[in-house]
Chain A
Amino acid sequence: MSWNRKHLLDIESLSPGEIVTVLDTAKAFKAVGERAIKKVPALRGKTVVNLFIEPSTRTRISFELAAMRLTADVINFSAEASSLKKGETLKDTARNLEAMNADVIIIRHSAAGAPHFLARFLGASVVNAGDGAHEHPTQALLDTFTIREKKGRIEGLKVTILGDILYSRVARSNIWALTKLGARVTLCGPPTLVPQVFKELGCEVTWDVNEAIRDADVINLLRIQHERQRRTTFPSLGEYTSLFGLNRARMAQAKDDVMIMHPGPINRGVEIDSEIADCGRSVILEQVTNGLAVRMAVLFLINGGKGPQEVGN
């Protein structure tokens, strides 16, 4: 048992022990979600602000519900309806929220490092809900939780992450979490989106989808992040689908017990065929259920007694 952090900014700075602590705590909170009364008073009187400067539905709702199930008060703040449109800086916006005695600020921002920036001057706890193409720590934690729950372990598993790696914060956080816990991670996708430099993070890189799928225990599919791509990285979506989309023919080469994951939103018929998304080997909806438990665990842990405070590097 080890958790001494006030913020959750990234996976990179977490120790394997800290990751396991979140997963174990999430297990207890998942059980709460299965009871008739799904609410506990752990964060009674605390105020949680969802500061979402970039659009999100799933993650925002998940954090909102997680905070509510811990009896915190929740405020949702989106870029479209805020003073950021009127020229206020992120720093001023965050300071104003803190002046209203917010205890936790959950931030999603298109700029990498935005949560780390806030953590440097805010007294409140900061949780990274996705910063640019950098990290999405709670997504990696819920993916890891789902794998551990289904497969019984992480160590020694072969996990293939397939799709847009270059622009994906989910990929980066997953790479950190999985390699720290001893999984073998293989990245696959078009060469323009899966540069060789990712090998430095301790992963395999392949552009051959059949090789990536063949002996994988888990296939984690990523969406093409159109909104982040600054230039065209492959000729067409149709070509992407024919070369890298997960369909029945490719699934036939995979292990019988391979598990299909996707952080959502899924683009049916692009990175995954409908029949695969809805098949028994897909755990996409369980990921959503587990996301709630993991986010409850994170909010619970960062509200625990404060030890030496970490602001991440």
Chain B
Amino acid sequence: MPESHVLLTAVAIERALARIAHEIAERNDNPPAVVLIGVQTGGVHLARRLSNLLEKISGHAVPVGSLDVSMHRDDLDGRPAPEIRPTSIPVDITGTTVVLVDDVLFSGRTTRAALDAMNDFGRPARVQLAVLVDRGHRELPIKADFVGKNVPTRRGEHINVRLREDGNEDQVCLERP
């Protein structure tokens, strides 16, 4: 029987995002130059939420974009061809501080692909990484700057992030096969 247990409830997700938003504001004392880019698919909703939170903290709008990394992955022939979702970078990111937002940080390969994909759009002054869950097992030298929750996991386990934007109740679960 697959086993599932809740890592973050709706309230915990909200608190974690609020804390991350404050940390982003604290780290980047020049907020107008911050651009949030959500990695498709999990990071886009989170980036939008962080943008709203940051706007309340700083008092001005923080641009938010989305990035699909399918075309930049290094494992195309290892999996069925992925569904490509929209990439939309609404502002010139050259010279800005880009905060990449993803739901789960695992091997680091998605983040690597996102860094490459972003290069095609401009040259940010800095790139930072915000994730809701860091589950370990990195295969590349990549580290998150802002983490909602660190969770020790086994490789075979699965982290399931459900968000209200997709019609679910906000919840993060750890699933064991």
Q: Which residues of A contact B (CB under 8 A)?
A: 1, 3-4, 21, 24-25, 28-29, 31-32, 35-37, 39-43, 70, 300-307
Q: How far is the CB of B140 from chain A (nearest CB, A)?
A: 16
Q: How far is the CB of A198 from chain B (nearest CB, A)?
A: 33
Q: Is the CB of A42 within 8 A of B120?
A: no
Q: Is the CB of A305 within 8 A of B81?
A: yes
Of A1, A4, A28, A43, the contact of B68 (CB 8 Å cutoff):
A28
Give the docked Cα–Cα distance between A123 and B86 (Å).
33
Q: Within 8 Å CB of A29, what residues of B?
A: 84
Q: Is the CB of B80 within 8 A of A307?
A: yes
Give a binary string over B74-108; 1 marks a CB under 8 Å from any A CB, 0 the rest. Answer: 00111111111111000000000000000000000
Give the docked Cα–Cα distance between A305 and B119 (Å).
26
Bin the interface of chain B by size. Answer: 20 to 34
By beta carbon, the residue of chain B nearest A3 is B81
Compute the total of residue contacts between A and B using a CB distance below 8 Å: 65
Given contact pairs A28-B68, A35-B121, A4 touches B80 in the complex (Cβ within 8 A)? yes
CB<8 Å pairs between A and B, sample of 15: A21-B83, A24-B84, A25-B81, A25-B83, A28-B70, A28-B84, A32-B71, A35-B120, A36-B121, A37-B121, A40-B117, A43-B76, A301-B81, A304-B77, A305-B80
Q: Is the CB of A31 within 8 A of B83?
A: no
Give the docked Cα–Cα distance between A24 and B84 (Å).
8
Q: Is the CB of B120 within 8 A of A304?
A: no
Q: Is the CB of A42 within 8 A of B72?
A: yes
Given contact pairs A37-B120, A41-B116, A28 touches B86 in the complex (Cβ within 8 A)? yes
Give the docked Cα–Cα distance between A4 and B80 (Å).
7
Q: Within 8 Å CB of A32, what residues of B?
A: 71
Q: Is the CB of B76 within 8 A of A42?
A: yes
Q: Within 8 Å CB of B86, what residues of A?
A: 28, 31
Q: Is the CB of A304 within 8 A of B79?
A: yes
Q: Is the CB of B83 within 8 A of A300?
A: no
Give the docked Cα–Cα distance between A21 and B81 (Å).
10
